[in-house]
Amino acid sequence: MDLVSEQIGALNVITVNEARIDAAVAIQFKDAMRRLTANGTTHVLLNLSQVLFVDSSGLGAIVGAMKQMGSERRLDLVGLTADVDNVFRMTRMDTIFDIHDTMETAIGRAAG
Amino acid sequence: MSAPNIDYEFSVSIDASDVCVRKALVDIRRTLGRLGVSEKDCGRIEIVFAEAMNNIVEHAYPSVSGRIDIAVTISAGSVHAVFCDYGCPLPNLTLPHGKLPKTTVKRDSLPEGGFGWFLIHTLTEKLDYTRFEDKNRLSMRIVLDP
């Protein structure tokens, strides 16, 4: 899977350069997230602005990615596209994550 | 963008695998879009179809290959879909209840699965499952936004 990690200030920003996080890639996604968050950065921001579709396996993998970071660290989300946003809201997963509209607000809030 | 007057039917048969399900979903969405089904409805249909087929791949054919037959009819402002497979039956020959897993729990206990049937139940009407001889048949209706 094409995931890119970038350190912006105190934030580890991980961008998913894929159109789908679905059953076909859920395990690879979670493994890639484990590798890219292994440096221990406390605050991780997952940029989903290029992801057009997440199914329940993908949703589970995103939750799993947060859980495997341990309870002292944070995984926020940014850039949910319409269908992805709907799935998060229907499953109440929008109450579990801090979800930002844009990178600017997400980074601004982390800095402030 | 509404599509109350579309009258169309099509069917697709695919190998029951994650990759073939993904391809079928993309193809079906393209077809629906071309017919004038709104993006919002396409999104709802895609997640329902994804969960129905993922479930077949995972539970009907856990370790064997198999086939999924999909028949879609769009008529009178709704989409009627039938998914057939020839694998294991649903446990107790019954549709899973589709309750939302509890999310008001400690982070370590947050659910990483169990959303699929909830999404199907939430977004469909007339959800029905039958087993006849060696065939599972799951049917449903999704009402398009007027």
pLDDT at A110: 67
- The helix (H) or strand (E) run that includes residue B29 is helix B18-34
* pLDDT for B63 beyond 80: yes
- Which pTM was predicted? 0.94
With cut-offs at 50, 70 and 90, classify the pLDDT of residue B103.
confident
Q: Please indicate whether, in this complex, the C-beta atoms of B44 and A86 are within 8 angstroms of each other.
A: yes
With cut-offs at 50, 70 and 90, classify the pLDDT of residue A111.
low
With cut-offs at 50, 70 and 90, classify the pLDDT of residue A109.
confident
Tokens representing B146?
């007027």
Chain A residue with Cα closest to B105 = A96
Q: What average pLDDT is seen over chain B?
A: 94
- Who's near B10: CB < 8 A, 6+ residues apart? B31, B71, B72
* pLDDT for B107 beyond 90: no
Which domains can be identified in chain B, with CATH numbers? 8-143 (3.30.565.10)
Q: How many CB atoms lie within 10 A of CB B26?
A: 14
With cut-offs at 50, 70 and 90, classify the pLDDT of residue A8.
very high
- The helix (H) or strand (E) run that includes residue A32 is helix A26-36
Residues of chain A contacting residue B45, judged by C-beta atoms under 8 Å apart: none
- The helix (H) or strand (E) run that includes residue B83 is strand B78-85
Separation between Cα atoms, residue B68 and residue B10, nearest integer Å: 14
* pLDDT for B116 beyond 80: yes
CA distances from A47 to A3, A4, A52, A100, B21 (A): 10, 10, 12, 9, 25
Interface contacts A/B by beta carbons within 8 Å: 78
Average pLDDT over residues B45-53: 98
* pLDDT for A74 beyond 70: yes
